[in-house]
DNA sequence: TTGACGCGAAACCTTAAGGTTTCATATAAT
DNA sequence: ATTATATGAAACCTTAAGGTTTCGCGTCAA
């Protein structure tokens, strides 16, 4: 079967930009067209559009044309690579930072 | 008490560069001086030194002068921010991507 | 059909990122 | 004392990143 294909852009790179991280969050609320998204930023629609392209090249979002608009949808799957990368360092805070770990978990629970 | 201080550089930004991610991995083996580290890269020692400074500004490494050398040590703690950010999307692969999740876990186990 | 809307492509600008080489300084070794 | 090591600061170069504005095209509404 087809399988992997998309790695045109690095995930780490893609999420490095705060605007792009925010876009992902916004899309968490569901599929949305470009203009709706760009309304949340102080930059031009075109600029937002470019960020969306980068996210798409990293496989984090997918577009779908509906009439005259292009709707973007979140795809969290590529974040698993990040999760795996992070897992490598997991032991650091499991072994040495027990107290801190508990603190963070409390934070997570409280959110 | 003192507490937080360092966020001179964004963690997401810091780990966006592959060279820097590799430096973190190398430091996982323990404290090391600049020259030892730079031996693993095709770039100049000075360039590596700059990457180390960026990692340090993000709190991911700490330096310690020993004689004429500067030894760098890994500090994984700032990665917790990344972990928390990621946790937000956790449900995506927990709810919708069960099969994929299992696949990845197998991958992790096999590694 | 005539507009208005929604969007991407192009061309262009500015600045930050990643690199390099050269130089100065502190510490170690002879 | 002299020489060799280890490293950061400076100055500089090139390219990619993030933005902007202008333009063209397909689509929906009057």
**A87 with B108: Cβ contact below 8 A:** yes
**Contact predicate B14/B60, CB 8 Å:** yes
pLDDT at B94: 74
Q: Which residue of B has its CA nearest to A17?
A: B13
Low-confidence ranges of chain A (pLDDT < 50): 1-4, 97-111
DSSP 3-state of A30? coil
pLDDT tier at B79, thresholds 50, 70, 90: very high
B12 has pLDDT over 50: yes
Our CA-based measurement puts residue B99 at a distance from the nearest CA of chain A, in whole angstroms, of: 12
> What distances in angstroms separate CA A72 from CA A27, A87, A92, B46, one per listed residue?
7, 29, 37, 42
Instruction: Catalogue the E-assigned strands of B4-98.
Output: 32-33, 61-66, 69-74
Predicted confidence (pLDDT) per residue in A11-37, tens digit: 999 999 999 999 999 999 999 999 999
Question: pLDDT tier at B67 (50, 70, 90 boundaries)?
Answer: very high
Q: Which of A10, A83, A107 sits opposite B86 (nearest CB)?
A: A83
pLDDT at B16: 98
Mean pLDDT, residues B84-107 taken together = 67
Give B5 CA → D14 C1' in Å: 35
**DSSP code for A8:** S
Candidates 2.60.40.10, 3.30.70.1290, 1.10.10.10, 3.90.1150.10; CATH matching B1-77: 1.10.10.10
pLDDT, mean of residues B10-21? 98
Q: Which positions on strand D lie below 7 Å from a protein C-beta? A: 5-10, 17-22, 26-28
Cα separation, A60 vs A9, whole angstroms: 10
pLDDT at residue A92 in the model: 87
pLDDT exceeds 80 at position B85: yes
Q: What is the pLDDT of residue A26?
A: 98
**B10, containing H or E segment:** none
Is the pLDDT confidence value at B93 over 60?
A: yes
- Tell me if A88 and B25 make a contact (CB, 8 A cut-off): yes
Interface residue B86 vs chain A (CB under 8 A): yes
Cα–Cα–Cα angle for B37, B43, B49, rounded to 5 degrees = 50
CA distance B7 to A55: 25
DSSP-derived pairing of the beta strands B61-66 and B32-33? unpaired
CATH number for the region A7-76 comes to: 1.10.10.10
Contact B79, A96 (CB under 8 A): no
d(CA B61, CA B65): 13
How far in angstroms lies nucleotide D26's C1' from the CA of residue A27? Answer: 25
Segments making up each domain of chain B, as ranges: 1-77, 78-111
pLDDT at B82: 96
How confident is the model at residue A39, as a pLDDT? 97
Reading the block at residue B96, the tokens are 């919708």
CA dihedral B75, B110, B104, B108 (to 10 degrees): -10
| CB distance under 7 Å to strand C: residues | A 33-36, 45-46, 49, 52-53, 63, 68-71; B 13, 16-17, 19, 42-44, 46-47, 50-51, 54, 67-68
Q: What share of chain A is helix, strand, coil (3-state, %, to 5)?
A: 55, 15, 30
């Amino acid at each position: 079967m087809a399988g992997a294909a998309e790695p045109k852009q690095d995930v780490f790179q893609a999420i490095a930009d705060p605007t792009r991280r925010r876009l992902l969050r916004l899309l968490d609320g569901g599929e949305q067209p470009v203009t709706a998204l760009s309304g949340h930023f102080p930059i031009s629609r075109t600029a937002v559009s470019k960020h969306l392209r980068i996210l798409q090249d990293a496989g984090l979002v997918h577009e779908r044309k509906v009439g005259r608009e292009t709707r973007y949808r979140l795809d969290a799957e590529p974040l698993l690579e990040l999760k795996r990368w992070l897992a490598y360092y997991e032991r650091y805070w499991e072994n040495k930072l027990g107290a801190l770990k508990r603190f963070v978990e409390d934070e997570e629970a409280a959110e």
